[in-house]
A and B are shown apart, each in its own frame.
Chain A
Amino acid sequence: MITCPHTKAMTLMMTTDLFDEAAEQAGYVDPRISLADRRRVPYADGDAVDTMLAFLQRRHRDRIAAEIIQPARAARFAAFPESIHPALRNALRTRGVEALYSHQREAFDAIHAGQHTVIVTPTASGKSLCYNLPVLQAALTRKAKALYLFPTKALAQDQVAEILELNRAAKLGVRAYTFDGDTPGDARQAVRVHGDIVVSNPDMLHQGILPHHTKWAQFFENLAYVVIDELHTYKGVFGSHVANLLRRLKRICAFYKVDPVFILCSATIANPQQLAEHLIGAPVHAITESGAPQGARHLLVWNPPVINADLDLRASARSQSTRLARIATTLGLKSIVFANSRLEVEVITKYMKDTFDADPRKPARVVAYRGGYLPTERRDKEHKLRAGTIDCVVTTSALELGVDIGALDVCILNGYPGTVAAAWQRFGRAGRRQRKAIGILVATSELLDQYIARHPDFFFAASPEHARIDPDQLLINMDHVRCAAFELPFHESDHFGAEDLPSQLDYLAENAVVHRDGAQWHWIADSYPANTVSLRTIAEGNFIVVDITAGGKNIIAEVDYSSAALTLYEGAIYMVQATPWQVEKLDWVGRKAFVRRVDADYYTDAIDYTKLKVLDEFEHAASRADRASHGEVHVVRRVAGYKKIRYYTHENIGYGNVHLPDLEMHTSAVWWQIDPVTLANSFATRHQAIDGFLGAAYALHHIAALVSLAELRDIGRSVGDGNGAWSAVVDARGRGTVRAQDGADLNIEQASSFKPTLFLYDNYPGGIGIAVPLFDQRHTVIERAIQVVASCRCKEGCPACIGPIPPSPAPASATLSPRAAAQRVLGLLGSATASTTPGMAG
């Protein structure tokens, strides 16, 4: 039976009191709240931002865990450089630019002096002028060319539009083009020959430009600047690939006898200069002081109210975020809501649309924006956002980057985004030059969120993360040695990173990929290596979503490979703009999902689990009770099924099976084991021990992300036997279930041996260097995890300590609670001394 959630909510309205927290917390979001808010919060003639702040402070002081004010910052100006080309100055004047901000001038001077330069600036600080100015100047005065790299196509198109406007303003005659997968074949020649500024992305440079550099000879011969915007996105595997890509670019530049200046722009991270230097392999001048003005920003950490003190159960962050967004919209403020998954985006959008877009004849006031839209749809949304016709946009990290969406007043983070840097970057999305803005981090019940709500100083004082790359990661490096060998022969005296290049090339020669001829290695294979190397972690091949309702074949969305298994399994409810489709058939090989429009009152959530096998132990530290190790592991991830969850009530109304191929990878990990005898003495049953391991894994995983300044998703966790024979997952009751290799339930009490292993693994194929530092910091990680679990106020366990544990029918005292079990496991792991025994002899 299909129920309309709206009807349900309306019915509820008749039976509950206004602002009935309990009802709200149970998941019902009363549509009248916005009406009530409207009644109670008088429209301020002056600043609606102050009105909203005052209202929140008056009504919900208890939910505000912390509040800080970033004071307004006045503009600092600098004069135009003397040398600037008159036409360029004219163009800027026409566009109302009479002076430069101090950082723009500083950038111009450094770049003009030939220094590689990184500029770290907040959103809307006129960052693109930092590179456009020197680039246009050089194009006008000495016919110099520039290559711009943006991580995505969308950003590239924005940038070209901006240059063209400037160009038009004073007829500069500088030609700027995008060059990406969408550039038609007959236009490519014109771009190569006539482009003064070519705006592209790393993937295109990798597959489309460098392997064809001779076609770009004219361009490279005059290349003076390489601009890399959104530097902070070049981290992890992607960044490591791009660092190698830039090594290739520099080889090509050397071939054409040019040595371009690199200009990099970054959002705030801990180590912009270091990252830039790693990425381009040369010293970089850093400009970190912005001269742009900034209105004051009020930042709140919002902890949803406790709705069940016994269970320490809090209201959902989603309901709170929705509510805050409603208040903002009702007050006439423009807001943006960041959610951490596409699913959350769609659900929040639906709740918001239920309130504000109930009348289909009126233009939409609420819009969802996430990855996976088709380009036309995306551009339409961006246009509407800039035009200011949209009041509330709900988004994933897709809008973290510099897509121009105009000025916003309120930014709501539905949950901690996983890193300090991302949180600040999202906050940066709200704020106008002259006006106050509000940023609210709504804490979920997850460990990290609650940690921040309880230790807000940690968050506000924390340095943003270090963006780490490892350009010498062997596998990544080897990939690019291959690609580089295709582009130009290697000479004995060449270098390509820290590895011994001749050994690498001899290895390739042995596989008949290159051939050594005197002092050089030449490419000899009949292949095009760039096509087999993907710069992103996701495997090649996006999935397309095809709507077959009414016999049609409309493509409604694109989903990247890594999330396809979690969102497009057969039976899944797939939402686009809060409209539900159901996946009828998934063609995994053909990368297509066929969906049909449905009226579902539920959404679906994938159940996935992971098993690990140790391939190789590199190092271990053991005490009598436990053993910690790090080394190489083989990881298999499987989506086993899905849950159907009803809207508003969030009750679980069914399960479905999923049959998809496993995702496999080979990476590095840290793992812990407990001596079998000690383990047997500590727990009455093996199941209790499993509960303990699973709870400990949850806490350790979160703390490990915090300590190693990684994102939660950079690290994976798993509990199993270390040989892939069985693995344990938390079931719907919050208890451990053991599955055998084939996925069937396994009775662990009867198993012949029992050696549970707790894994934290580097979540990228080949690993990007998380495991070793984590192994070195294992004492800190365990100590903090013990603290977190011990200090939690829940009884059996909750998302803030060992993971969500639904209330159990049995009295807690009758059995060992998962939380107590986890404490016991952590205690045993913490007993280890620091007696490190290096695994490698010598």
Chain B
Amino acid sequence: MNVTRPLSTHQLRERLMQLRRERGNVVPRLDEGSALADLPSNIAQTLSPSLAERLARLRPWVGKERSSKVDPVDVAHFLGGALVDVGVVRIEHSFPLPLQHGRASLNDAFTTPSALFSEKNALPIPVCRTAFLDTETTGLSNGTGTVAFMIGFARFDTNALHVTQWLITSFAGERAMLTALARCLDDVPLIVTFNGAAFDLPLLHTRFRMHNLADPIAACAHADLLPWARRNRLKQWPDARLQTLEREGLGFHRVDDLPGAEVPKAWQQWLTAGAATPLRWALEHNRLDLVTLVALLQRASHHPLSPGRKADPRQAWLFERPTPWPPVPVAAPGSWVRNPWVPKRSGAMQSML
């Protein structure tokens, strides 16, 4: 049995060995005893400039050389979008209404300004002025080291749902992506998310702060559907996650979807190996999440806020009573709906390098 300390010292050892190996020195094996006379006396010396030089020779794609190899316009095209700034690709999709999503149907009636309220002024907010937001990130931890490399943004007009996605292909694009998002939020009084209160919005707040930009979200009301989902899921469903609600509640079954846990890896693979195909999968995943978010809001907003209810001023409280879910049809397979615009995930991964 290993305990914390042995593990960590072992790791340290490994790391030292690694550093040595890179310098081209003899690597001592544990059973070689003291016969290694030609090793450096100062461990620190093992990180001499020669390491950097050697690494530079070994990995020619590091830094600027890499970006010069791939035409960013090609990358954008491959991802189905356009290069809108250095390192930022924008992908646009419009879904004409009515839109069928599993058993849920999003129609034009949904865009009428009847259901949504902001706590700030208690006036109805038309759905067409509401933004749906979902980010894909480099990790799940809080803190300044986690970056949203993709932001999905959806909004209605009278006859379609418009989905805009920004994807950064290098860190250099983050600032431009955030600025673009801020512009889109200009006339948006309400943002709808799933778990945004705990994750997406604080993360975006951090990203805006890191770039010394004002956070446009601070001015918006926010409706997080996760608490509603927790209250309204049926007991037999395993949890209240977005995809569970989508499957059990809306009857929409994803095929070949990139699992959420693998999304950070998609970005890493792009960065380290230039693999662009996983980014396409991630875009698709993000788009599906957004459409499901919209469909869930439709369910939730059947029950407007009762008057006099006190709530967190930043949180638009929309939902009071449990909403009945549509009954599950007996013939399950027939109810499986796979939208034609969902591409297949299988197929060779394409590297842009």
Q: Which residue of B lies closest to A635 (CB)?
A: B9
The answer, yes or no, to whether A182 is at the interface (CB within 8 Å) is no
CB-CB < 8 A to B271: which residues of A?
515, 524
User: Does A541 contact B4, Cβ atoms closer than 8 Å?
Assistant: yes
Distance of A523 Cα from B141 Cα, bound (Å): 12
Q: Please count how many residues in chain B sit with their CB below 8 Å of the partner chain's CB atoms.
A: 66
Partner of B47, one of A499, A522, A661: A499
Contacts known (A211-B145, A522-B147); A840 close to B268, Cβ less than 8 A: no
Stretch at the interface among A212-220, A377-385, A741-749, A783-791: A212-220
Shortest Cβ distance from residue B266 to the other chain A in the assembled complex, whole angstroms: 11
**What are 10 A-B pairs with beta-carbon distances under 8 A?**
A217-B209, A474-B46, A486-B144, A487-B144, A507-B47, A528-B142, A663-B6, A722-B33, A765-B12, A841-B37
- Cβ proximity bits A509-548 to B, threshold 8 Å, 1 near / 0 not: 1101001111110111111110000000001110000000
User: Does A526 contact B138, Cβ atoms closer than 8 Å?
Assistant: yes
Stretch at the interface among B49-57, B246-254, B342-350: B49-57
CB-CB < 8 A to B1: which residues of A?
588-589, 661
Contacts known (A214-B144, A500-B52, A839-B41); A661 close to B4, Cβ less than 8 A: no
Central interface residue in A498, A517, A518, by most chain B CB within 10 Å: A517
User: Does A524 contact B138, Cβ atoms closer than 8 Å?
Assistant: yes
The answer, yes or no, to whether A665 is at the interface (CB within 8 Å) is yes
| A: contact size bracket | 35 or more
14 further interface pairs, Cβ-Cβ under 8 Å (given A474-B19, A526-B138, A618-B40):
A474-B43, A502-B52, A503-B51, A504-B47, A525-B145, A526-B139, A526-B141, A539-B4, A539-B5, A613-B30, A661-B1, A661-B6, A664-B6, A840-B38
- Cβ proximity bits A814-839 to B, threshold 8 Å, 1 near / 0 not: 00000000000000000000000011
User: Does A518 contact B63, Cβ atoms closer than 8 Å?
Assistant: yes
Distance of A761 Cα from B147 Cα, bound (Å): 44
The answer, yes or no, to whether A617 is at the interface (CB within 8 Å) is yes
The answer, yes or no, to whether B272 is at the interface (CB within 8 Å) is yes
Distance of A528 Cα from B56 Cα, bound (Å): 28
CB-CB < 8 A to B16: which residues of A?
474-475, 666
Q: Which residue of B lies closest to A522 (CB)?
A: B171
The answer, yes or no, to whether B85 is at the interface (CB within 8 Å) is no
The answer, yes or no, to whether A66 is at the interface (CB within 8 Å) is no
User: Does B268 contact A512, Cβ atoms closer than 8 Å?
Assistant: yes
- Cβ proximity bits A387-400 to B, threshold 8 Å, 1 near / 0 not: 00000000000000
The answer, yes or no, to whether B93 is at the interface (CB within 8 Å) is no
Give residues of chain B (130-152) contacting chain A, Cβ–Cβ below 8 Å: 138-145, 147
Central interface residue in B3, B33, B59, B209, by most chain A CB within 10 Å: B3
Partner of A840, one of B9, B13, B41, B272: B41
User: Does A840 contact B40, Cβ atoms closer than 8 Å?
Assistant: yes
The answer, yes or no, to whether A27 is at the interface (CB within 8 Å) is no
CB-CB < 8 A to A613: which residues of B?
30, 33
User: Does B51 contact A617, Cβ atoms closer than 8 Å?
Assistant: no
CB-CB < 8 A to B13: which residues of A?
634, 666
The answer, yes or no, to whether A629 is at the interface (CB within 8 Å) is yes
Shortest Cβ distance from residue A203 to the other chain B in the assembled complex, whole angstroms: 16
User: Does B171 contact A617, Cβ atoms closer than 8 Å?
Assistant: no
The answer, yes or no, to whether A459 is at the interface (CB within 8 Å) is no
Distance of A213 Cα from B143 Cα, bound (Å): 8
The answer, yes or no, to whether A157 is at the interface (CB within 8 Å) is no
CB-CB < 8 A to B236: which residues of A?
none
Distance of A448 Cα from B282 Cα, bound (Å): 67
Q: Which residue of A lies closest to B13 (CB)?
A: A666
Partner of B4, one of A525, A540, A629: A540
The answer, yes or no, to whether A21 is at the interface (CB within 8 Å) is no
Q: Which residue of A lies closest to B55 (CB)?
A: A506
The answer, yes or no, to whether A446 is at the interface (CB within 8 Å) is no
CB-CB < 8 A to A766: which residues of B?
12
Q: Which residues of B contact A (CB under 8 A)?
A: 1-6, 8-10, 12-13, 15-16, 18-19, 22, 28, 30-31, 33-41, 43-44, 46-49, 51-52, 55-56, 59, 62-64, 67, 138-145, 147, 170-172, 202, 205-206, 209-210, 264-265, 267-268, 271-272
The answer, yes or no, to whether A243 is at the interface (CB within 8 Å) is no
Contacts known (A503-B47, A589-B1, A765-B9); A526 close to B33, Cβ less than 8 A: no
User: Does B43 contact A512, Cβ atoms closer than 8 Å?
Assistant: no
The answer, yes or no, to whether A619 is at the interface (CB within 8 Å) is yes
Distance of A710 Cα from B171 Cα, bound (Å): 47
Contacts known (A485-B145, A500-B47); A561 close to B4, Cβ less than 8 A: yes
Q: Which residue of A lies closest to B22 (CB)?
A: A507
Contacts known (A661-B3, A664-B5); A617 close to B37, Cβ less than 8 A: yes
User: Does A664 contact B10, Cβ atoms closer than 8 Å?
Assistant: yes
Shortest Cβ distance from residue A391 to the other chain B in the assembled complex, whole angstroms: 41
The answer, yes or no, to whether A151 is at the interface (CB within 8 Å) is no
CB-CB < 8 A to B10: which residues of A?
664
Q: Which residue of A lies closest to B50 (CB)?
A: A503
User: Does B39 contact A840, Cβ atoms closer than 8 Å?
Assistant: yes
The answer, yes or no, to whether A723 is at the interface (CB within 8 Å) is yes
The answer, yes or no, to whether A614 is at the interface (CB within 8 Å) is yes
User: Does A517 contact B170, Cβ atoms closer than 8 Å?
Assistant: yes
Shortest Cβ distance from residue B198 to the other chain A in the assembled complex, whole angstroms: 12
Q: Which residue of A lies closest to B206 (CB)?
A: A214
Q: Which residue of B lies closest to A212 (CB)?
A: B143
The answer, yes or no, to whether A478 is at the interface (CB within 8 Å) is yes
The answer, yes or no, to whether A195 is at the interface (CB within 8 Å) is no
CB-CB < 8 A to B46: which residues of A?
474
User: Does A512 contact B272, Cβ atoms closer than 8 Å?
Assistant: yes
User: Does A487 contact B145, Cβ atoms closer than 8 Å?
Assistant: yes
Central interface residue in A478, A506, A512, A613, by most chain B CB within 10 Å: A506
Partner of A662, one of B6, B63, B64: B6
Contacts known (A664-B6, A766-B12); A722 close to B144, Cβ less than 8 A: no
Central interface residue in B9, B139, B267, B271, by most chain A CB within 10 Å: B9
CB-CB < 8 A to B147: which residues of A?
522-523
CB-CB < 8 A to A515: which residues of B?
171, 271-272
Contacts known (A561-B4, A631-B34); A475 close to B28, Cβ less than 8 A: no
Distance of A485 Cα from B47 Cα, bound (Å): 18
Q: Which residue of B lies closest to A506 (CB)?
A: B55
The answer, yes or no, to whether A464 is at the interface (CB within 8 Å) is no
User: Does B52 contact A212, Cβ atoms closer than 8 Å?
Assistant: no
Contacts known (A539-B4, A666-B9); A213 close to B47, Cβ less than 8 A: no
Q: Which residue of B lies closest to A588 (CB)?
A: B3
Central interface residue in B8, B28, B40, B144, by most chain A CB within 10 Å: B144
Partner of B144, one of A213, A502, A527: A213
Partner of A723, one of B33, B56, B145, B202: B33
Q: Which residue of B lies closest to A562 (CB)?
A: B5
